[in-house]
Amino acid sequence: MRRIGHPGERNVLGRRLVIMLFEGVDLLDVTGPPEVFALLRRETPDATGYQVLLAAATLEPVRTAAGVRVVPDVTFAQAAERRIDTLIVPGAVELDAERNVRALTDPELVAQVRELAARSRRVASVCVGAHLLAAAGLLDGKRATTHWSTAGQLAAEFPAVRVDADPIFVRDGRVWTGAGITACLDLALALVVEDFGEAVALRVARQLVMYLKRTGGQSQFSVPTQPTATTTRRTDELRLHILRHLDAPLTLPDLARQANVSERQLARVFKAELGMTPAAYVESLRVEAARNRLEAAEDTLDRVAAACGFRSVDTLIRAFRRRLDTTPAEYRRRIRGAPEPDPAEGSVR
């Protein structure tokens, strides 16, 4: 694979931007941001843009998670010889025995992150690279995001980090963290906005055929019904009951009776083990169920609302806005390319 942003290329006078490279790294995390920065140079030929360098432990080709080998431009040691404007830290994952995704934090790589970050004006992670920043102590006391599938791991392993799994990207001081996979493009555009202004970034976004700021957060794509390892057996049984009876009322008294505890105790257990109230948890599962129906079927919103336990379409719409920052109709159109609703129809789609 061709080196990206080699020192001999035209962008040599730009802001020095270093992307870390290591075995098993997610390929798009490495190649996505340089595509944004390359279009920046095309849209602003008189601007210097960025000098993009890939840095690794050695100059040997690095095999990414996709199996594609990428050639570094410089070693970590060489990258640290000069001041870095922006350090971008991608991530890598593995599957455990239950095929759950876990972010990797190699101690030697963490040490390199810490050293290079000390030489950088600004630090940004893409996807699960946030785990490397956290392990290096760069996220302590800060708000941060990561891919929704590893947000629980990040919060559990690094309690000093204020994890928010929904935003596409988060900036806290000089540290930026990006959400999952393609969100690296959103993060790169945000860096362009900060450095070169919104008008330039908008032109780049148009070339990428994407919004400068997409609607909604990554909770649109998460799976809140996945089990949480920290819950007790009683809570797990109640969660299963909720999932199987989403069309039932599922009020706090109903759930307390099902669990054979007081309403106050149930509220305390949910807050301690799931980080939310029983009502919020029920709503999250109902929105997830409605989301799945909107993706897979052509049901009207009336039918989706009834099947998922919402009292009305208005209640469904309000829940979608709260949870996903969009509406059911907008969500269906974005995910499935469905046509606009026909005002003449008797029911809402």
Q: Per residue in 284-308, pLDDT tens? A: 889 988 987 887 777 899 999 999 9
Residue carrying structure tokens 């490397």: 132
pLDDT confidence of residue 188: 95
Of 3.90.76.10, 3.40.50.300, 1.10.10.60, 3.40.50.970, the CATH number of 233-336 is: 1.10.10.60
**pLDDT above 90: residue 86:** yes
Whole-number percent of the chain with pLDDT over 70 = 85
Q: Which residue has the higher pLDDT, 232 or 340?
A: 232
- Provide the residue ranges of all domains of the chain, joining segments of one domain with +: 10-221, 233-336
pLDDT above 90: residue 227? no
| Beta bridge mates, 176 | 124, 171
Q: How far is 136 from 147, CA to CA, in rounded Å?
A: 18
Distance of alpha carbon 54 from alpha carbon 20, whole angstroms = 6
8 Å CB contact between 21 and 112: no
User: What would the 3-class secondary structure string for the chain be?
Assistant: CCCCCCCCCHHHHCEEEEEECCCCCCHHHHHHHHHHHHHHHHHCCCCCCEEEEEEECCCCCEECCCCCEECCCEEHHHHCCCCEEEEEECCCEEECCCCCEEECCCHHHHHHHHHHHHCEEEEEECCCHHHHHHHCCCCCCCEECCCHHHHHHHHHHCCCCEECCCCCEEEECCEEEECCCCHHHHHHHHHHHHHHCHHHHHHHHHHHCCCCCCCCCHHHHCCCCCCCCCCCHHHHHHHHHHHHCCCCCCCHHHHHHHHCCCHHHHHHHHHHHHCCCHHHHHHHHHHHHHHHHHHHCCCCHHHHHHHCCCCCHHHHHHHHHHHHCCCHHHHHHHHHCCCCCCCCCCCCC
pLDDT at 50 over 90: yes
pTM metric for this prediction: 0.66
The one catalytic residue among 127, 132, 136, 139: 127
- 7 has pLDDT over 50: no
Give the strand pairing for 162-163 and 84-89: unpaired
- Side chain identity at residue 223, one-letter code: V
pLDDT bucket at 2, cuts 50 / 70 / 90:
very low
10 Å CB burial of residue 61 (0-12, 13-18, 19+) is middle
Whether 127 is catalytic: yes
Q: What is the mean pLDDT of the chain?
A: 85
Whole-number pLDDT of residue 265 = 93
Q: Quick: pLDDT tens for 134-161.
A: 999 999 999 999 998 999 999 999 999 9
CATH of 10-221, one of 3.40.190.10, 3.40.50.880, 1.10.230.10, 3.30.310.10: 3.40.50.880
Question: Nearest to residue 169, comparing CAs of 201, 103, 124, 132?
Answer: 124
